[in-house]
Amino acid sequence: MPLDLIADQNCVRRYLLEDADDARVATVRLTQSLTTMLAHQSMPPAVFRLCGELASAACLLANMLKFKGEMIVQLKGSGPVSLLVADCNSEGQVRATAQWQDLGAAQSFQDLVGTGYLAVTADPEQGERYQGIVPLDGSSLSACLNHYFANSEQIDTRIYLAADTEQAGGLLLQRLPREGGSGAQAETWETLHALTETMTDDELKTLAGPPLAYRLFHGQQIRQMDPWSVQFGCSCSRDRSARALRSLGKSEVESLFAAQPRVEVDCHFCGQVYQYDQADIEWLLSDQPPGPDTLQ
Ligand SMILES: [Zn+2]
């Protein structure tokens, strides 16, 4: 079946390569979902681009989930961009946010984020969350993620990411573990890797989807799977924000309310403001156990 060569928008797509059934190939392209996601956050372009790349990575990783839940990719650094967080759940709801100070002359990834760590968390709705952490080690977010896969997952993986202030794109190439791998598979992997290394950032941003897959792998039989739609969505709620407030501890909550009649908690991801007043104090300080950590 010939490929449909229309560029994807706001979806992840997987491909099957006839000659390399032990390789996983997926692309993601975000356009309107990205601009909607970050519209209220007034980010400098360099921070917007990093969020676009991180959100793309979260979508590619969430697409691999085998359970209901979410993937969270978080980066903490010593540079002017001190925090970047993106998550995507198994329904394709993606969101991202960042904390930054004056960027000064910082332009490169390393100058923007400094030293720190990258954490990748798989958080199932039921069961234990799994988190892998690696030091920030690389000249780009892609390089840090590749480092994460090599160290924490021990799966040969190459993630390519690119973004501007209107769109973002990514490609994931992964060599699936197989017992007794033969030389032919290693050779195929090297060929695929060499092909993906020829991509430019512009191609990733504008063609990530069937046109890019065809451009890279046209020497092989390629089958494109149905797109998996991803859209901006925020899972914040009044209950979740209350949990964040409660985690400050009883005396801190009491002193907050002593200083003002109403306490507000904003969601950094979507801008929603949750207000709590005196009537909520008892509920906020109840013995109800706090739930799992939220990244708000
Ligand atoms: Zn929210």
What digits encode the pLDDT tens for the residues 207-230? 999 999 999 998 888 899 999 999
Residues with Cβ within 8 Å of residue 110, at least 6 apart in sequence: 79, 139
For ligand 1, the distance from its centroid to the CA atom of residue 37, given in whole angstroms, is: 10
At 295 the pLDDT is: 40
Burial class (CB in 10 A: 0-12, 13-18, 19+), 281: middle
- Please give the distance, rounded to the nearest whole angstrom, from the Cα atom of residue 41 to the centre of ligand 1: 12
What separation in Å is there between the alpha carbon of 237 and the centre of ligand 1? 7
The helix (H) or strand (E) run that includes residue 204 is: helix 201-207
The residue written with tokens 């650094």 in the block is: 77
Q: Hey, which bits of the chain come out as E strands?
A: 11-17, 23-30, 69-77, 81-89, 93-100, 116-124, 130-135, 157-163, 168-175, 222-224, 228-229, 231-232, 262-266, 273-277
Residues 64 and 43: their CA atoms lie apart, in Å, by 29
Identity at 118, one-letter amino acid code: L
Residue 185 Cα to ligand 1 midpoint, Å, equals 45
- Ligand 1 centroid – CA 27 distance (Å): 26
pLDDT tens-digit series, residues 101-157? 999 999 999 999 999 999 999 999 999 999 999 999 899 999 999 999 999 888 889
CA-based nearest residue to 26, from 164, 192, 231: 192
Å from CA of 200 to ligand 1 middle:
34
Q: Which amino acid is at 187?
A: E
CB 198 within 8 A of CB 236: no
Tell how far the Cα of 294 is from the centroid of ligand 1, in angstroms: 11
Mind listing the pLDDT tens digit for each residue in 18-77?
Answer: 878 788 999 999 999 999 999 999 999 999 999 999 999 999 999 999 999 999 999 999
CATH number for the segment(s) 238-284: 3.90.1280.10
Q: Sort strands 93-100 and 231-232 into parallel, antiparallel or unpaired.
A: parallel
Cα torsion 44, 45, 48, 53: sign: negative
Give the tokens for residue 277.
Answer: 């007043």
Expressed in angstroms and rounded, the spacing between residue 145 Cα and the centre of ligand 1 is: 26
Q: What is the CATH number of domain 11-232?
A: 3.55.30.10
| Cβ atoms 214, 222 nearer than 8 A | yes
User: What is the 198 CA–ligand 1 centroid distance (Å)?
Assistant: 38
pTM of the model: 0.90
* Cα–ligand 1 centroid distance for 269 (angstroms): 5
Beta carbons of 79 and 136 less than 8 angstroms apart: no
Domain extent listing, the chain: 11-232, 238-284
Distance 87 CA to ligand 1 centre (A): 12
What is the 270 CA–ligand 1 centroid distance (Å)? 4
Q: How far is it, in rounded angstroms, from Cα 17 to Cα 19?
A: 6
Give the distance (Å) from ligand 1 centre to CA of residue 238.
10
- Taking the centre of ligand 1 as the mean of its atom positions, its distance from the CA of residue 17, in whole angstroms, is 39
- Gap between the Cα atoms of 45 and 214, Å rounded: 31
- What pLDDT score was predicted for residue 32? 97
pLDDT exceeds 80 at position 2 = no
Question: At CA 83, angle to CA 77 and CA 85, rounded to 5?
Answer: 130
- As a residue count, the chain comes to 296
Q: How far is the CA of 101 from the centre of ligand 1 (A)?
A: 22
